[in-house]
Structure 1
């Protein structure tokens, strides 16, 4: 069935904006006046092909170009002619329109470098390489990660084509969600905070999700797609949907040697992209090379607390600030409302155990903890200073050691106001906006009609 959007645009001062939203099943539009042109901004989760028509009288319509929506939104610039014009958009599914990667995507002729990123020497040591969870069966390639990048931002991965992986893992927020709980395809809320993805490659334990229920990253990336709250898809429907897009055929050929789309290849490509989200250009990284002479006195004080009296490295070790091969109960409450690993295993000894993500880009990933209970880094530091709760499964690293005052009791740092501020200042040196703004990690879809 054809769909129609009809609207009039009266020429206004360049600073003015007119908005109109007219329902046509899945499509709406806005009319924007931008300088010497009008922009038709179409929002269409069905990704239809549209033909632009214009008229001065509503009596005679002149056909314009045919445009395809590739990922829910398309901006169509139109020159201003006269003082009043009418515009009409008709779906034109029968019209010829290229659906190759050049039309759909803003990708360079040569693949960007996902496979061998330039990293400083301290992130190339045997100890750091030993944290790498990349399986032999799925090495990161430039073509594979590029396919994964397109999939990561593609709203086709959700049932109603309204959200993508990037909706809940936003680059500007360290590939996490600034909301406490993420909004799914049908408006429902997740029951946990979306974890930041920076340096997920270096999670030695390999298991993913807060409760580690996915054994590998390849397994993890398919689960949100099939989750009834998050994206609501079946893998069979996803394969059918992607197979219908010619540009995906090109990407799968580049990545895997043939145009065949299947869930195994989807999972491998998504995992490759996620593993390419690597931080190595923070103020901290510059400090390693300079002996931290680039740090302020406050930041160096915080670094000393982190590495020394705070014992933070027990759970956030190495220059990747990851937990090694351990999982922890950090004494958030007793009993736990969300039992973490215990919810999966049913074992009392697993209650309150949660995955520990890397602290890289931690400044950008608020709110914090599995349930997003802490809105700021200051609140997190306050918790470790005075708020750790005595739970039966509280990890030994958060208990006073034998022979010390209060042996076996929760280890609370009892920091001064100045020390807490210093620790927060140090954590902010782990911010790396080179990752959050890196072209190869951004949305690749074409939203502006040429």
Structure 2
């Protein structure tokens, strides 16, 4: 039998002067095993279309199909003639489009759409104080079609200038919708100044403002800011509207969500906010325990829970079953003076130095590293900081002081066993169902 030979030819259906792949594009042909298939992988941030052909002799070519790239890459296993020779070529034409460029080709969405608007909530979420923490505006309640559009936008790299970064690049589902890197990498290789905050249960932040320094008064404002940031995504809103309007599948999604196919920055804002508010964590070991008197907890976890709500006073800043601060914004004594002044950097007022938003502790075990600057790599380091490392600062929040609102930093003096128990309790706040839920995963069609 003749040996199997593979060849990938990059051809062009354009004049010789233009016979090149688009900037940043690449094609690879591999044979992962000795089976009867080869794998063709295309990467193209500009999302062009490619004609794929095969030939046994480089003379006679048969069309395999036309592949449209929808979000930067496409992969497919192709047949290989056992014992023979088979060549593949990919022809790129910047003017070629798939005739039927619709939602079903671009996206792997369920029918009917996923349930975002009527998620089942524990009874504890339907009464105070959690009802009062809900920051959903009256004119942008979550709908299934709106959150579906928001999900697509959240994962779409078109939102960045060079189409390489999406919202999900810095808010990864497996990591509690945060970034495991201390500082996130932007579209042009630059890095953010702060660690990406986890997004779970953002709907129930009573103060309603977003970013670590709360510079965005609403989630609807916040979701557009990274898109326009010169480090993060580098786009302008008019350019984004033009780009999304050129993708036919978006006309269907915008029409489903808002009753008209027109793409606007206002609709983008509302859809993204709906999706983020739909990212709800209620399926943790803690939630099971809250419904049954915590009989499912180990002795260590229950000890940690008692320390959290008792001697540790952690619930003063992480209250309710959402583990959020209520109406307060806090200075937690990380340093004095603060390198990053938080709210104080915006207002210029000394009394605002070191004030930062307190996010929910839900999924905290997934969202390392910790603090606004990601200085702590583990929960053990965080617990030790609150145990013995809080720094005296004029704006230090009262719950972290000993002997009253003007006292020195509090020292918990926990034993090694007690610190381990606190970490064990924090681990019960992990919602693995949310971190793997397909409703919140990347919906784009990348082939096989």
Task: Please indicate the TM-score interval, normalised by the length of the shorter structure.
Answer: over 0.9
Aligned in 2, Cα 1:386/1:19: closer, same or farther, shift over 3 Å?
Answer: farther
Alignment of 1:176-255 (within 5 A): 176-255=178-257
**TM alignment of 1:326-337, pairs within 5 A:** 326-337=328-339
Once the two structures are superposed, what CA deviation does each residue of 1:236-291 show, in whole Å capped at 9, x if it has no partner? 00000000111100000000000011000000000000000000010000001110
Q: After the TM superposition, which parts of structure 1 deviate over 4 Å for at least 4 consecutive aligned residues? A: 9-12, 18-23
CA contact (8 A) 1:54 1:88 kept: yes
Say yes or no: does 1:428 pair with 2:427. yes
1:91-110 aligned at under 5 Å gives the runs 91-92=92-93, 93-110=95-112
Change (3 A) 1:324 1:20: farther
Partner Cα distance (2:89, 2:9) in 1: 13
Distance 1:228 1:10 in 2: 49
Contact 1:20 1:29 in 2 (8 A): no
Specify the SS of the correspondent of 1:130.
helix
Q: Answer yes or no: is the 8 Å Cα contact 2:400–2:409 preserved in 1.
A: yes
Task: Classify the secondary structure of the residue corresponding to 1:63.
Answer: strand
**Secondary structure of 2:27's aligned partner:** strand
Instruction: Name the CA distance, whole Å, in 1 between partners of 2:325 and 2:4.
Output: 60
Correspondence list, 1:17-32, <5 A: 24=21, 25-32=23-30
SS in structure 2 at match of 1:89: strand
**Cα deviation code 1:221-247 (max 9, x no counterpart):** 000000000000000000000001111
Deviation digits for residues 100-156 of structure 1 (CA, Å, limit 9, x no counterpart): 100100011211110111122222223211111000011110100000000000000
Within 5 Å, give how 1:16-95 maps onto structure 2.
24=21, 25-34=23-32, 35-82=35-82, 83-92=84-93, 93-95=95-97
Structure 2: runs of 5+ lacking an equivalent = 12-19
1:200-240 alpha-carbon deviations (Å, 9 max, x no partner) = 11000011000000000000000000000000000000000
Q: For residue 325 of structure 1, what is the aligned residue in structure 2?
A: 327
Q: TM-score, normalised by structure 1?
A: 0.93
Paired residues for 1:284-295 under 5 Å? 284-295=286-297
**Could you tell me which residue of structure 1 aligns to residue 381 of structure 2?**
379
**Residue-pair matches, total:** 433
* Shift in CA distance, 20/416, structure 1 to aligned 2, threshold 3 Å: farther
Corresponding residue SS for 1:126: coil
- Contact preservation (8 Å) 1:19, 1:32: no
Instruction: Please state how far the C-alpha of 1:55 moved relative to its aligned partner.
Output: 2.2
Q: How far apart are 1:21 and its partner, in Å?
A: 11
2:127 and 2:31 map into 1 onto residues whose CA distance is 54
Partner of 1:398: 400
Q: 1:94 to 1:358 in 2, by over 3 A?
A: same
User: Is the 1:67–1:97 contact (alpha carbons within 8 Å) kept by the matching residues of 2?
Assistant: no
Give the secondary structure class of the aligned counterpart of 1:358.
coil
Gaps of 5+ in 1: 1-8, 13-17
Contact 1:20-1:30 at 8 Å conserved across structures: no
Kept in 2: contact 1:208–1:214 (CA 8 A)? yes
CA contact (8 A) 2:4 2:86 kept: yes
1:21 to 1:178, Cα distance in 2 relative to 1, 3 A: farther
**2:365 aligned partner:** 363
Distance of 1:96 and 1:402 partners within structure 2: 69
Kept in 2: contact 1:66–1:97 (CA 8 A): no
Output the CA distance in 2 between the equivalents of 1:425 and 1:19: 53
- 1:19: Cα distance to partner? 11
Aligned residues: CA RMSD: 1.9
Contact 1:54 1:61 (8 Å CA) reproduced: yes
Whole-angstrom CA distance in 1 between matches of 2:98 and 2:8: 30
Which whole-Å CA distance do the structure 2 matches of 1:21 and 1:165 have between them?
Answer: 32
Distance across 2 between alignment mates of 1:373 and 1:122: 34
Segment drifting more, 72-81 vs 233-242: 72-81
Shift of the alpha carbon at 1:95? 4.8
What is aligned with 2:14? none
Residue of structure 2 equivalent to 1:3: none
What's the CA shift string for 1:18-64, capped at 9, x where partnerless?
99999823311222325321121111101000000122333343332
SS of alignment partner, residue 429 of structure 2: coil
Q: Offset of 1:99 from its aligned partner? A: 1.3
Classify 1:248/1:95 alpha carbon distance in 2 versus 1 (closer, same or farther; 3 Å): closer
Report which stretch shifted further, 74-83 or 23-32.
Answer: 23-32
Partner of 2:276: 274
> Which range moved further: 430-439 or 114-123?
114-123
Tell me whether 1:166 sits opposite 2:163 in the alignment.
Answer: no
Of 107-116 and 374-383, deviating more is 107-116
Q: Which residue of 1 aligns with 2:159?
A: 157
Shift of residue 188, structure 1, vs aligned partner:
0.4
> Please, what TM-score do these two structures have when normalized by structure 2?
0.93
Q: Provide Cα deviations, 1:298-352, integer angstroms capped at 9, x if missing partner.
A: 0000000000000001100001101101100000000100000011111111100
Distance, in Å, in 1 between the alignment partners of 2:9 and 2:309 is: 57
